[in-house]
């Protein structure tokens, strides 16, 4: 058996490898190359070197979008994870109807981002106009909090499920032992439960962090960057670079922005993974 | 034996994983939403194509990426009729409103790219100039009534032909206007319009309307009526005054008039200006259809949806009087719809496409479908007269000595410029921004964006 696997490994590896190459590696290399080019479609590509990259940082809207995205990511990662963890704690108590509530909280995650964005736009605008406040498209502050609420509503349920799975893994023996030692419920949470669910925290922060950073659909449908690009996030900014102006050179600049964007996402998520992993313990 | 079973199972599960891998991999590769939207509308056509009698070998095929969602059903019919008549398969895909450029971008990158597509004028042509087949000397160009409808490259080759002429202005509900004690003939200038609109607004409960003007919606589905179409007027008058037809630095001499008209729209309106940022194109149309507003700025393309409710005698289109040369100003008439043939397509496909557009504009079926079903006026010698009442009014006004306002928004520097003006207008309407921001976006934005296009 072992021998035949050693012999036939290409049969097992190659198909997956091919799919991975076609679906990921090849487009990725093309993407890197295109960021050094001027192009309208992939049929006619002119190599122009690094000049696209210099234009990326001259663009004030890109820098603004970066700041806005960073702020949004911090706020939404914190709110989503704290609320999701809190809900998970509530729904792991053996109360009646927990399954119904878990389902209900999870459901928003099943609706697509664009649809959610438009629904929340009407909801929030209805409320704002009732209060006599400027509508979403007119105030960057409201747009920001609108996005936080929207993302929270959509993602809390999903993260909650992961936390529930983590919390159910905490052995009752450990909790009982802690309680016999006289630990308060706060101490049990802090010193027993949280260290053990740390892997769930790692995965949840990773997901929320990258999701928030790469947010596009919700941003497009809820505010579309209004007012005057003040709520524009990075992904939308890149999209607009592609389409909002005529001329082949803008496609290359958009592509260069996308590469910069990719690097930022990689760095941030690696730092985060390293940080939360270091807190994980073996029970 | 058992070992064999295990290895068979293993292989099977690997194979399954590979399939799953393929499925997963193709998903992210399947690019933007626009493309998907286009696909959604495509299947019906693909079926038709398959059902159509197999075309003579090498006869080519036509793939038209249509810009006008309002004319989609008619195009599908026309394509079917053409295929029945000639056996040449024609696929018509319509891009979602406001998504044409993104859809075109995605479609052009495919191996089965559109053979016939649209650009919206000289600025739009910049993206696609390399992909446009030179139409010089072709039948479609020879059939044009005027060479003003040729869209030329810098080297003089013909990249596109304007295939539909449209007019826009202020669509008026004559019945309601008469109820208020006026007729269309009472409106001869901006001052008349303002006086009457103010009066209607003051007596709106008595007349039974919500406001004089349908909502000046600044949602993406409606804001082009103001950031593009209304903004054409200050550009037109400036070009006229300076005797030019394009500029890289607009001066904004007529922006005060622009402000006056916009102020009138948002003050004598069906809703609070604070709510305009969320009002859509459908909102405005419905207000007009339901008789909640007397005036509605839009174009001749609205005729088919308005004709469902109103008879030709009940509606009229009046010029957007601008307070500059009201006595001579006609409707805004022109085109931003230029047909281009994809030069990258195979020779057979190019020929098939040229034949198709010729047939659409010169055959009895084609020309009458474009006039009667789509309500278009087409600038070809073989055109059939359109029943569109707004078009007739445009002809009457021109015959009566008025000068139609040409469409200069095709020279606007970029989408980004339009968006900047739109954002500033929205903020101004809601009171969160001031008019100076509009002026800045208009004048300074123009210069900046023009420089960036080069």
Its ipTM equals 0.77
- Do A145 and A21 share a structural domain? no
B234 plus B344 within the same structural domain: no
pLDDT of residue A57: 81
pLDDT for A169 equals 85
Return d(Cα B6, Cα B12) in angstroms, integer.
10
- Residue B439's pLDDT is what? 92
Q: How far is the C-alpha of B276 from the C-alpha of B281, rounded, in Å?
A: 11
Q: What CA–CA distance (Å, rounded) separates B446 from B431?
A: 24
CATH number at residue A188: 1.10.3720.10
Q: Which residue would you say has higher pLDDT here, A247 or B276?
A: B276
Question: In this complex, do B278 and A226 lie within 8 Å of one another by their Cβ atoms?
Answer: no
Domain match, A15 and A89 both: no
Q: Do residue B294 and residue B441 come from a single domain? A: yes
Chain B residue numbers touching A224 (CB-CB < 8 A): 220
* Residue A188: inside a domain: yes
Parent domain of B325: 167-332+393-453
Q: What percent of chain A has pLDDT over 70?
A: 99
Taking residues A221-249, what's their average pLDDT? 84
Minimal Cβ distance to A246: which of B127, B274, B427: B127
Q: Are residues B248 and B318 in the same domain?
A: yes
**Rounded CA gap, B226 and B283, in Å?**
15
User: Looking at residue B47, what is its pLDDT?
Assistant: 39
Sole residue written with tokens 């992904």: A235
Q: For B102-118, how does the pLDDT look when each residue is reduced to its tens digit (9 = 90+)?
A: 888 888 888 888 999 99
Q: Please check whether residue B3 lies inside any domain of the structure.
A: no
Count: domains in chain B: 2
Q: Which residue of B has its CA nearest to A39?
A: B127
Kindly state the DSSP code that residue B181 receives in the 8-state scheme: T
With CA atoms as reference, the chain A residue closest to B5 would be: A1
Q: What is the pLDDT of residues A148-187, one digit of tens each?
A: 999 999 999 999 999 999 998 888 888 889 889 888 888 8
In a domain, B388, yes or no: no
Domain shared by B306 and B188, yes or no:
yes
Say yes or no: A106 and A195 in one domain.
Answer: yes
Residues A166 and A208 in one domain: yes
The tally of domains found in chain A comes to 2
DSSP per residue over B27-60, as a string?
HHHT--HHHHHHHHHHHHHHHHHHHSPPPPTT--
- Which of A34, A238, A240, A245 has the most B C-beta neighbours within 10 Å, making it the best mutation to test the interface with B? A245
pLDDT of residue B341: 92
Same domain, B308 and B426: yes
pLDDT at A140: 85
Instruction: Report which secondary-structure segment, H or E, holds B329.
Output: strand B329-334
B91 and B43 belong to one structural domain: yes
Q: Has residue B9 been placed in a domain?
A: no
- B250 and B341 belong to one structural domain: no
Q: Does A40 map to a domain?
A: no
Q: Establish if B16 touches chain A: CB-CB under 8 angstroms.
A: no
pLDDT of residue A84: 93
- Summarised one tens digit per residue, pLDDT across range B415-454 is 889 989 998 999 898 888 899 999 999 999 899 888 887 6
Is B21 inside a domain boundary? no
Is residue A121 domain-shared with residue A93, that is, in the same domain? yes
Cβ within 8 Å, pair B109-A15: no
Question: Looking at the domain assignment, is residue B24 inside a domain?
Answer: no
Contact B432 A139 (CB under 8 A): yes
Q: Is residue A240 part of a domain?
A: yes
Measured distance CA(B163)–CA(B339) in Å, rounded: 7
Question: How confident is the model at residue A190, as a pLDDT?
Answer: 86
Question: What pLDDT, on a 0 to 100 scale, did the predictor assign at position A283?
Answer: 53
Give backbone dihedrals phi and psi of A116, rounded to 5 degrees, phi first: -55, -45
B104 and B212 in a single domain? The answer is no
The predicted-structure confidence for B76-103, as pLDDT tens digits, reads as follows 989 999 998 888 999 999 988 778 888 8
Cα Rg of chain A, angstroms: 23
Residues 6+ positions from B162 with CB-CB distance below 8 Å? B149, B150, B151, B335, B337, B338, B339, B379
The average confidence (pLDDT) of chain A is 87
For chains A and B, count residue pairs whose Cβ atoms are closer than 8 Å: 116
Residues in chain B predicted with pLDDT less than 50, given as ranges, are: 1-2, 9, 12-57
State the smallest CA–CA distance between residue B2 and chain A in angstroms. Answer: 11
How many helices (H) and strands (E) in chain A?
Answer: 14, 2
Do A215 and A157 fall within a single domain?
A: yes
State whether B269 and B314 are in the same domain: yes
CA distances (Å), origin B116, targets A270, B62, B66, B107, B166: 47, 7, 8, 11, 20
* Angle at the Cα of B383 from the Cα atoms of B381 and B384, rounded to 5 degrees: 145
Residue B402's pLDDT is 86
**CATH label of the domain that carries residue B357:** 3.40.190.10
Q: Where in the sequence is the domain holding A27, given as residue range(s)?
A: 2-34
Co-location of A131 and A8 in the same domain: no
Task: Quickly state the pLDDT bin for A269 (edges 50, 70, 90).
Answer: confident
My answer on whether A207 and A123 are in the same domain is yes
Rounded to 5 degrees, φ, ψ at B182 are -130, 165
**How many angstroms separate the CA atoms of B42 and B38, rounded?**
6
Cβ–Cβ contact B136 with A under 8 A: no
Query: pLDDT tens-digit profile of A39-65?
Result: 887 777 888 888 888 888 878 888 899
Is the pLDDT at A259 greater than 70? The verdict is: yes
């Amino acid at each position: 058996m072992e021998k035949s696997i050693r012999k036939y490994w290409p049969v097992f590896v190659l198909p997956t490898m091919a799919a991975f190459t076609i679906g990921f590696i090849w487009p990725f290399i093309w993407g890197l190359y295109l960021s050094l080019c001027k192009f309208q479609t992939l049929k006619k590509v002119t190599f122009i070197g690094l000049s696209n990259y210099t234009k990326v940082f001259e663009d004030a809207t890109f820098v603004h979008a970066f700041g806005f995205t960073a702020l949004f990511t911090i706020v939404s990662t914190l709110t989503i994870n704290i609320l999701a963890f809190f809900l998970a704690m509530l729904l792991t108590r053996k109360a009646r109807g927990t399954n119904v509530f878990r389902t209900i909280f999870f459901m928003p995650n099943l609706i697509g981002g664009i649809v959610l964005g438009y629904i929340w736009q009407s909801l929030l605008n209805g409320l704002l106009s009732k209060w006599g406040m400027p509508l979403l498209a007119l105030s960057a502050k409201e747009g920001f909090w609108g996005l936080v609420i929207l993302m929270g509503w959509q993602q809390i349920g999903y993260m909650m499920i992961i936390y529930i799975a983590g919390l159910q893994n905490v052995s009752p023996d450990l909790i009982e032992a802690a309680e016999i030692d006289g630990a308060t419920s706060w101490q049990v949470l802090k010193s027993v439960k949280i260290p053990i669910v740390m892997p769930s925290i790692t995965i949840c922060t990773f997901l929320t962090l990258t999701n928030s950073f790469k947010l596009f659909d919700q941003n497009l449908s809820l505010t579309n960057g209004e007012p005057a690009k003040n709520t524009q996030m990075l992904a939308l900014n890149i999209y607009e670079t592609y389409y909002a102006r005529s001329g082949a050179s803008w496609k290359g600049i958009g592509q260069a922005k996308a590469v910069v964007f990719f690097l930022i996402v990689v760095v941030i998520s690696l730092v985060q993974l390293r940080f939360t992993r270091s807190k994980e313990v073996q029970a | 034996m058992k070992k064999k079973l295990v290895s068979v199972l293993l292989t099977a599960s690997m194979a399954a994983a590979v399939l799953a891998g393929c499925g997963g991999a193709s998903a992210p590769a399947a690019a933007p939403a626009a493309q998907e939207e286009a696909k959604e509308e495509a299947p019906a056509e693909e079926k038709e194509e398959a059902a159509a009698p197999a075309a003579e070998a090498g006869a080519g095929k036509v793939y038209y990426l249509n810009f006008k969602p309002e004319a989609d059903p008619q195009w599908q019919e026309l394509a079917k009729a053409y295929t029945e008549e000639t056996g040449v398969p024609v696929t018509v895909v319509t891009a979602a409103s406001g998504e044409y450029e993104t859809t075109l971008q995605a479609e052009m990158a495919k191996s089965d790219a559109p053979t016939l597509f649209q650009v919206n004028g000289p600025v739009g042509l910049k993206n696609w100039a390399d992909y446009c087949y030179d139409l010089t000397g072709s039948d479609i160009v020879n059939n044009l009534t005027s060479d003003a409808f040729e869209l030329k490259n810098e080297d003089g080759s013909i990249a596109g032909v304007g295939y539909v002429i449209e007019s826009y202005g202020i669509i008026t509900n004559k019945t309601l206007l008469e109820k208020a004690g006026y007729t269309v003939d009472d409106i001869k200038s901006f001052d008349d319009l303002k006086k009457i609109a103010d009066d209607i607004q003051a007596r709106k409960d008595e007349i039974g309307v919500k406001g004089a003007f349908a909502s000046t919606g600044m949602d993406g589905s409606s804001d082009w009526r103001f950031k593009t179409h209304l903004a054409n007027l200050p550009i037109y008058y400036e070009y006229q005054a300076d005797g030019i037809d394009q500029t890289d630095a607009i001066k904004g001499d007529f922006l005060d008039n622009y402000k006056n008209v916009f102020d009138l729209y948002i003050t004598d309106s069906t809703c609070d200006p604070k709510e305009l940022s969320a009002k859509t194109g459908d909102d405005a149309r419905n207000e007009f259809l339901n008789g909640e507003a007397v005036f509605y700025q839009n174009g001749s393309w609205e005729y088919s949806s308005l004709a469902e409710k109103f008879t030709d005698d009940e509606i009229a289109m009046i010029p957007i009087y601008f307070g500059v040369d009201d006595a001579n100003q006609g409707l805004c008439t022109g085109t931003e719809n230029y047909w281009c043939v994809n030069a990258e397509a195979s020779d057979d496909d190019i020929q098939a496409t040229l034949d198709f557009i010729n047939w659409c504009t010169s055959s009895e079926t084609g020309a009458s479908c474009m006039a009667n079903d789509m309500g278009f006026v087409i600038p070809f010698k073989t055109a059939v007269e359109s029943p569109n009442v707004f078009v007739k009014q445009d002809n009457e006004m021109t015959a009566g000595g008025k000068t139609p306002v040409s469409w200069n928004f095709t020279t606007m520097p970029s989408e980004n410029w339009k968006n900047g003006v739109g954002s500033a207008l929205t903020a101004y309407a809601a009171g969160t921004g001031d008019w100076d921001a509009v002026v800045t976006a208009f004048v300074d934005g123009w210069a900046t964006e023009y420089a960036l296009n080069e």
